[in-house]
Amino acid sequence: MSVTEKKEITVSEARKLLMDKAEELDPLQRRVLEYTIRFSRLDSETAKKLVEELIKEANIDRGLAVQIVNSMPSSVPEIRTFLGRQRIIAEDTLSKILGIIEKYRVEE
């Protein structure tokens, strides 16, 4: 497998890409596939939709949206962990992000 495009993707999207090429994977890529199977929280299409909705509705950048989708936080304090000290986001925006996530949450 070779690099054709470089952008942030969710664990679910990575799982789909790796599953599509499962026969061609080297040992490291197989380990990454095992990781994605274990830790992906949504199917790839749902994850992609959630990332796009977070970017559009909450006005956050793609990298942050991908991190949020990968972890599916369930509270505002959990969302704050992704922001770091340099990012300040209004409380209503954090609540909006949480509301968007809740629409996509799958019972585990």
In a domain, 52, yes or no: yes
In a domain, 70, yes or no: yes
Q: Which domain holds residue 54?
A: 44-104
Contact predicate 62/10, CB 8 Å: no
pLDDT, tens digit, 9 for 90 and up, residues 14-47:
999 999 999 999 999 999 999 999 999 899 999 9
Supply the CATH number for residue 51's domain.
Answer: 1.10.150.80
pLDDT-derived band at 85 (thresholds 50, 70, 90) equals low
Put residue 15 in one of left, alpha, beta given phi > 0 → left and psi -120 to 50 → alpha: alpha
In a domain, 26, yes or no: no
The total of structural domains in the chain comes to: 1
Q: Per-residue pLDDT averaged across 53-74, rounded?
A: 94
In a domain, 9, yes or no: no
In a domain, 4, yes or no: no
In a domain, 74, yes or no: yes
In a domain, 1, yes or no: no
Q: Is the pLDDT of residue 108 over 70?
A: no
In a domain, 29, yes or no: no
Q: Per-residue pLDDT averaged across 45-52, rounded?
A: 96
Q: Is 49 exposed, middle or buried (0-12, 13-18, 19+ CB in 10 A)?
A: middle
Q: What pTM, to 2 d.p., does this model score?
A: 0.85
